[in-house]
Amino acid sequence: MKTVTINTLNTLKEQGEKFPVITAYDASFARLIEHAGIEVVLVGDSLGNVIQGYDSTVPVTMDDMIYHVEACLLYTS
């Protein structure tokens, strides 16, 4: 897959182009997204609700985010 940067996304947005983005929190879902050909994976603090079971995203730490981003990077290019 080609490298997608913030500049790439900004250019697409300025041109009115749509692009798919899917949320993943772990290597398994990141692998599925990669195989589906989707070039943008969002790892957001909503993992606090979805994965960690919190009522809000406030308790999510930067260490939590780093852990989940690194897990997703294992299977994405």
Distance between CA 66 and CA 55 in Å, rounded? 21
pLDDT at 41: 94
* 22 DSSP β-pair partners: 41
Q: Are 42 and 22 in contact (CB under 8 A)?
A: yes
Intra-chain end-to-end CA distance of the chain, in Å: 7
Q: What are phi and psi of 40, to 5 degrees?
A: -125, 120
pLDDT tens profile 1-55: 578 899 999 999 999 999 999 999 999 999 999 999 998 999 999 999 999 999 9
pTM over 0.75: yes
**Residue 13 token pair:** 């947005």
